[in-house]
Structure 1
Amino acid sequence: MRVLIAGAGSVGRSIALELLAHGHTVTLVDHEPGAMRVASVAQAEWLLADACSPRALTEAGAGESDVVVAATGDDKANLVVSLLAKSEFAVPRVVARINNPRNEWMFTETWGVDVPVSTPRIMTSLVEEAVSVGDLVPLFRFHRSGASIHELTLPDGSPVVGHRVGTVDLGPHAVLAAVMRSGTAYGVEPDLTLEAGDELLLVLSAQGQDDLDQLQEQLAPRAQD
């Protein structure tokens, strides 16, 4: 797979190293001479240019890229790169970094973004997941389909504790994807009995977003005042 990364800062270089380790071809583009740390990612192709320029993207091989990653520290630049990649070069998949959560609403297909990645939002979800028992915690949302992944740690007294997975009906818009128990991942075998402390990974369709309260009540009802 050929990947073009706009932004050769610490984020862009880290992504490049991971992709190269998996055998992909990577080009890094940045307009700052100080970002040209070629030795740090020696296997990548490097280009000193402004990725917001169609000419620069052409030179970097955007037209032949399978994925473009807009990974600069400037949300405006990431949006411009995304729009150019999709509209001018028809790149199949565009991934864009969101630096400021207040700008999340703009990172949509309208701007050519297939996958928006908000580091602050991800970190918030991970913090919530680490401290919340009995709460549905959103971990990830698939922008194109509207589906999402949620985590819930079963508390003592959950109505489904002691029940087999095959007997738990989550409705038409939610699917149990995996059960984590003591650091081990279990498939959703119908005969697996749920225990207090199990971490449930749930996939919800776009329609399922309206059923979150009902799902919460089913798996871990909140105490009444």
Structure 2
Amino acid sequence: MRVAIAGAGAVGRSIAGELLENGHEVLLIDKAPTAISVERVPQAEWLLADACEITSLDEAALQRCNVVIAATGDDKVNLVVSLLAKTEYGVPRVVARVNNPKNEWLFNESWGVDVAVSTPRLMSALVEEAVSVGDLVRLLRFSHGDANLVELTLPEESALAGTQVGNVEWPQDTSLVTIIRGTRVLTPTRDDSLEAGDELLFVAAQAREEQLEDLLSVRREDASS
């Protein structure tokens, strides 16, 4: 897979390093000469250019990329790069970094963004995930279909503890994708039973999140008694 990353700062270089370790081709683009540190990620291709300029993206051959990641520290730049990648070059997958949570509402398919990653929101979600049991935590938002990656740790008092996955009437537009049980990562089947303490990851429509939380967490009448 070929990936272009706009923004060769600490975030962009870290992403590049991970992708290269997984066997992907990576092109790092940045307009600041001081950001071009080939020795830090020598396996990557480097381009000194403004990723907001069509001529630069032509030089980067963006049409050959499977994924574009807009990872600069400027939300305006990330939106422009995302829009150009999607509309001018037809890049199948565009991922954009959100620096200011107030701008998160802009990072959607109208601007060519398939996945928006808000660093402040993600850090907050990870803190919540570490301390919350029985509460639904939103980890990541997907632009298409208005869906989110959400997590809930099944509490001891949940009515679903001990229930087989196939016997649960999950809300519409909701999919259980992973069960994390201790050190194990399970791909759920219909015959797997849910256990208290399981960390459940779902892709769910935003409109179904409350319904999903009510289904999995402590019953409210039990909690109030």
Asked whether the two chains share a fold, i.e. TM above 0.5, the reply is: yes
Matched, 1:148 2:145: no
Secondary structure at 2:43's aligned position in 1? coil
Unaligned runs of 5+ in 2: none
Unaligned runs of 5+ in 1: none
Matched, 1:101 2:98: no
Shift of 1:46: 1.4
Shift of 1:176: 2.8
2:214 aligned partner: 217
Shift of 1:40: 0.8
Query: Following the alignment from structure 2 to structure 1, what is the Cα–Cα distance between the partners of residues 189 and 95?
Result: 34
1:165 aligned partner: 165
Shift of 1:96: 1.1
Paired residues of 2:171 and 2:211 also in contact (CA < 8 A): no
Matched, 1:129 2:126: no
Paired residues of 2:117 and 2:141 also in contact (CA < 8 A): no
Query: Following the alignment from structure 2 to structure 1, what is the Cα–Cα distance between the partners of residues 63 and 174?
Result: 38
Paired residues of 1:4 and 1:61 also in contact (CA < 8 A): no
What amino acid sits opposite 2:111 in the alignment? Answer: W
Matched, 1:41 2:38: no
Shift of 1:77: 0.9
What amino acid sits opposite 1:211 in the alignment? Answer: R
Shift of 1:41: 1.1
Paired residues of 2:134 and 2:152 also in contact (CA < 8 A): yes
- Cα-Cα RMSD: 1.9
Give runs of ≥4 in structure 1 deviating > 4 Å.
Answer: none
What amino acid sits opposite 2:139 in the alignment? Answer: L
Query: Following the alignment from structure 2 to structure 1, what is the Cα–Cα distance between the partners of residues 175 and 93?
Result: 26
Q: TM-score, normalised by structure 1?
A: 0.89
Query: Following the alignment from structure 2 to structure 1, what is the Cα–Cα distance between the partners of residues 151 and 224?
Result: 23
Q: TM-score, normalised by structure 2?
A: 0.89
Identity of aligned residues (%): 58
Post-superposition CA distance 1:197-220 (Å, at most 9, x none)? 22222332x3xx333333322222
Shift of 1:90: 2.1
Secondary structure at 2:39's aligned position in 1? helix
Secondary structure at 2:146's aligned position in 1? coil
Matched, 1:32 2:32: yes
